[in-house]
Amino acid sequence: MRLYDEEISSRLLLGTAQYPSPSILQRAIRDSGAEIVTVSLRREGADGADGFRDCIRQTGVRVLPNTAGCHTARDAITTAHMARELFSTSWIKLEVIGHADNLQPDIFGLIEAARVLSADGFSVFPYTTDDLVVGEKLIDAGCRVLMPWGAPIGSAQGLRNADALRSMRSHFADVPLIVDAGIGRPSDAAEAMEIGMDAVLTNTAVAKAGDPALMARAMAMAVEAGHIGFCADPMNRRETAVPSTPVLGLADFG
């Protein structure tokens, strides 16, 4: 998988919020095999930020800072610039939240911020909806990756509109698509990959599991299985049964 000209082996991205302890977070990252983790700048500003940075640094993974909690393009742009200085990376997961309850992206602010940040040399990973027109606008703004939601953040509802994601896969055939938000179980991750998504990002489903490290491992296996299944070109669904053993040529014992 190539993301902004970088070769990435793992198709599972992991969020780093809400874990019971730093050691459990480290085990989850290790067992997930993830090469990229997202980090909120607001988390960095809290007490113990240096310890948290060290915790992530020790895992050796690549950090993808995000603009979580930003509700305007201006705030997201400012946060992105701060993240670039703090983490020494031009990669940014861009979030501009438009709805306080379902955390749906503000697509107008998102496109505005994406255009400004792309022009300023950022590699933008936009958290967006599954709307094709919005996707086109983000590509025009300079994004080379799209991160459509599966369902509202932290809801664990899985893929609420799998048909829309299939349409995105068909329409943006050459654009990396990463399902972000809504993944609740390994089966959700496998479904996303079977549709043809390039990767899955999950946080809450792992962090809030009874055993986060074990869930991280399960998510990694599901992502791999789903991707391999997609590459194998699975058969289409049928409305009626079709015998696996040919009827013609059977022996007649009558």
Taking only the tens place, the pLDDT of each residue in 39-84 is 987 655 545 566 788 888 889 999 999 999 899 999 999 999 999 9
Residue 101 in domain: yes
93 is catalytic: yes
Domain count, the chain: 1
pLDDT digits (tens, 9 = 90+) for 161-194: 999 999 999 999 999 999 999 999 999 999 999 9
Q: What confidence score (pLDDT) does residue 253 get?
A: 67
Backbone φ and ψ of 210, nearest 5°:
-60, -35
SS3 string, 102-141, reads CCCECHHHHHHHHHHHHHCCCEEEEEECCCHHHHHHHHHC
The annotation status of 182 as a binding-site residue, yes or no, is yes
The annotation status of 66 as a binding-site residue, yes or no, is no
Q: What confidence score (pLDDT) does residue 245 get?
A: 75
Tell me the sheet residues that pair with 146: 177
**Band (98; pLDDT cuts 50, 70, 90):** confident
**Euclidean distance between CA atoms 165 and 181, whole angstroms:** 13
The annotation status of 17 as a binding-site residue, yes or no, is no
Q: What's the sign of the alpha-carbon dihedral 82, 87, 91, 92? A: negative
**Euclidean distance between CA atoms 30 and 62, whole angstroms:** 13
Residue 54 in domain: yes
pLDDT digits (tens, 9 = 90+) for 234-251: 888 888 888 777 766 666
The annotation status of 181 as a binding-site residue, yes or no, is yes
pLDDT (mean) for 17-30:
94
pLDDT (mean) for 105-119:
97
Residue 249 in domain: no
Backbone φ and ψ of 29, nearest 5°:
-60, -45
Q: Which of 93, 137, 217, 227 is catalytic?
A: 93
Residue 246 in domain: no
CATH number at residue 123: 3.20.20.70
